[in-house]
Amino acid sequence: MKTRAFTPARIGIYAFLVTAALFFLLPLYVMLVTSLKPMEEIRLGNIFALPLQFTLEPWREAWSGAC
């Protein structure tokens, strides 16, 4: 049975696939991380940072206001 060697073309395809996956998953990450931050942290402007204080209050407000 042959083992598949990592050719430059295969490495290029994998690099492209990983880059494309990150490109499409980045907005989901930002949305989830931002939804766990209090409004004061959101106003600081660092959307990629993890929350310093996790809160589920925005989720509670959204669910109570949606009904």
Per-residue DSSP letters for 24-58? Answer: HHHHHHHHHHHHTS-HHHHHH--TTSPPSS---HH
- How far is it, in rounded angstroms, from Cα 16 to Cα 63? 38
Asked if the model's pLDDT at residue 67 lies above 90, the reply is no
Q: What is the pLDDT of residues 6-65, one digit of tens each?
A: 899 999 999 999 999 999 999 999 999 999 999 999 999 888 999 999 999 988 988 898
- How far is it, in rounded angstroms, from Cα 51 to Cα 49? 6
What is the value of pTM for the model shown? Answer: 0.72
